[in-house]
Amino acid sequence: GIYAPVTEDNQPNPFLDDPLRDVTTLEGLKLTKINPAYMTRQVAEIAMESEGVHFHLTSLRPLRPANAPDKWEEKALESFEGGSKEKFELVRTKEGPLYKYMAPLLTKKACLKCHAEQGYKEGDIRGGISLTFDATPMLASIAHQRNHLITLHILGFFFAVIVFTWMSRLTRKSEAIIEESRERYRELVEFTDAVHWELDFKTLRFNYISPQVEKLLGYPASSWIDFDFWADHLHPDDREWAPAFYKDLIARGKYHTFTYRMIAMDGRVVWIRDIVNVEADESGKPVRHRGILLDVTELKEAEEETAHSLEEKEVLLRELHHRVKNNLAVITSLLSLQSSHMGSKSAEEILQESRNRIMSMALVHEQLFQTKDFSNISILNYLESLLMNIVSSYGPGKGMVIIERDIADISISIDVLIPLGLIVNELVTNSLKHAFGPGQKGLIKGSVTNPGANDYVITVSDDGKGMPEDLDVEKSDTLGLKLVNILAAQLEGTLEFESKEGTAFTIGFSYHG
């Protein structure tokens, strides 16, 4: 405590048991000790007079009777004994509402000088200090704040109602627009004969299939539950490969189109062209598939009919070429018979040359009869057969002459091959007849090359006695060379002649297939 002068308002504390409570200074001034409890009472009296706030130091075992607790303080002190840290409450009294607050006072070592005799130990709850003040001003402020908040809440409520109403109208309008767009899209989708569908990737169940599917296959849209329904109604020949093909491409996220057959409810076979698109998520994994089923049965039937017609036409063309070849063979046979009854050697040679010319054309028709491609014929196969026939037609007398061939394996049309064959026939025949003497050995070379994309060169040469250097092949009056000139012009080609150590003819032309 502290010492203070003894005055009317500061009298010695009768409850302070201290032999040095009262002292007198050398000057004769009387002092009394003010302990913490006494000082608290004095502060409380000042606060009560100036602020209307009442402090009260109290205990369940007070030394000063005036410090005895009221009922509220007694309950608070008991709660401190039970472990409560503080007590605050709004108390309604006859005088008006009061706020009461109380905190416990713990026994410290210094407190034991005065309170050890009461049995207190350090750390015990010795009592408490309470604070009481009028709650009316604060409650009025709270009420004002509450009214303000209520007003704000009411205004907020009405604002929310207005916003909600506006949003509801906007939402209904948006929903109406969306529904209208959805209805237009549905009408557009369901207007066509194409069947639109959507399948979930994980469940393999149909999210949607347009009602046209019933018109197409007879099964109502409600029957199309999942992938298995589709697979189970495929044509038996497509039931294995089509689902495997579909799953493989879908797993890889591939857009694809494929054609297969389905069995309709009435047993019809319907050709379907399925156009499938894969929709993936952000990571690229397939999420759903969308597609369009198109009925291509009429197209397939038309294709099959066309293929059948083409096959029939090929058979007819092959038969036609076969008959032309046979008729030409009959003519060559007649010419052979006629030549055997001719009395003139020159007449026999003329008939033989005519026979070879006809045979060169007959070989073309024979090649066409044997091939499946009527637009192009192999030059190699044709000229091999032609040269063999020319040599054999002159009999063993020309057996000492060797024919070398260097023929590119290319194919050309009949319109080019017939004049080309006649040219080779005339030039090889000319070499066999005039280039070598009786029993003389000789070499005839025949070649066909393709030096450019559309350029072709035919060369027929021999190592015989040659022809006059001043020979003008374009003005020659022999039938063979006249034919060569005419046929080269028909091919829109060039004809070159050279006679050095034999004879060489070169024909160049272009062919664009």
CATH code of the domain covering residue 75: 3.30.450
- For the ranges 83-97, 118-132, 373-387, which has the lowest average pLDDT? 373-387
* Mean pLDDT, all residues of the chain: 78
- pLDDT confidence of residue 343: 61
Give the chain's end-to-end CA distance (angstroms, integer).
130
- Shared domain for 487 and 509, answered yes or no, is yes
- Shared domain for 513 and 432, answered yes or no, is yes
pLDDT digits (tens, 9 = 90+) for 258-288: 899 999 999 999 999 998 888 888 887 888 8
Give the residue from 348, 374, 400 where a domain finishes. Answer: 374
Mean pLDDT score, 459-463: 90
- Decide which of 306 and 507 is more confident: 507
Output the domain CATH number for residue 488.
Answer: 3.30.565.10
Mean pLDDT score, 421-445: 83
* pLDDT at 322 > cutoff 60: no
Mean pLDDT score, 483-488: 84
- Residue 40 forms part of a structural domain: yes
* pLDDT at 56 > cutoff 70: yes
- Decide which of 344 and 397 is more confident: 344
* pLDDT at 439 > cutoff 60: yes
Select from 421, 303, 320, 328 the least CA-distant residue to 374. 320
- pLDDT confidence of residue 266: 94
Mean pLDDT score, 411-428: 82
- Decide which of 380 and 354 is more confident: 380
Token couple for 80: 């401190």
Give the residue from 83, 112, 134 where a domain finishes. Answer: 134
Mean pLDDT score, 346-356: 67
Enumerate residues 6+ apart whose C-beta is below 8 A from 10: 4, 32, 34, 42
- Shared domain for 275 and 333, answered yes or no, is no
Give the burial class of 336: count Cβ atoms within 10 A of its Cβ; 0-12 exposed, 13-18 middle, 19 or more buried.
Answer: middle
- For the ranges 117-131, 232-246, 292-306, which has the lowest average pLDDT? 117-131
- Shared domain for 254 and 339, answered yes or no, is no
- Shared domain for 418 and 450, answered yes or no, is yes
Q: At what angle do helices 345-370 and 414-434 cross, to 10 degrees?
A: 150
* pLDDT at 49 > cutoff 70: no
- pLDDT confidence of residue 348: 64
- pLDDT confidence of residue 153: 79
pTM given for the model: 0.39
Torsion of CA 434, 435, 438, 441, to 10 degrees: -160
The total number of structural domains in the chain stands at 4
Write out the residue range of the structural domain in which residue 491 sits. 391-513
- Shared domain for 215 and 255, answered yes or no, is yes
- Shared domain for 345 and 308, answered yes or no, is yes
Give the residue from 295, 320, 353 where a domain finishes. Answer: 295
Listed ranges 283-292, 382-391, 454-463; the one with the highest mean pLDDT: 454-463
- Residue 82 forms part of a structural domain: yes
Mean pLDDT score, 388-402: 69
- Shared domain for 358 and 408, answered yes or no, is no
- Shared domain for 513 and 398, answered yes or no, is yes
- pLDDT confidence of residue 116: 66
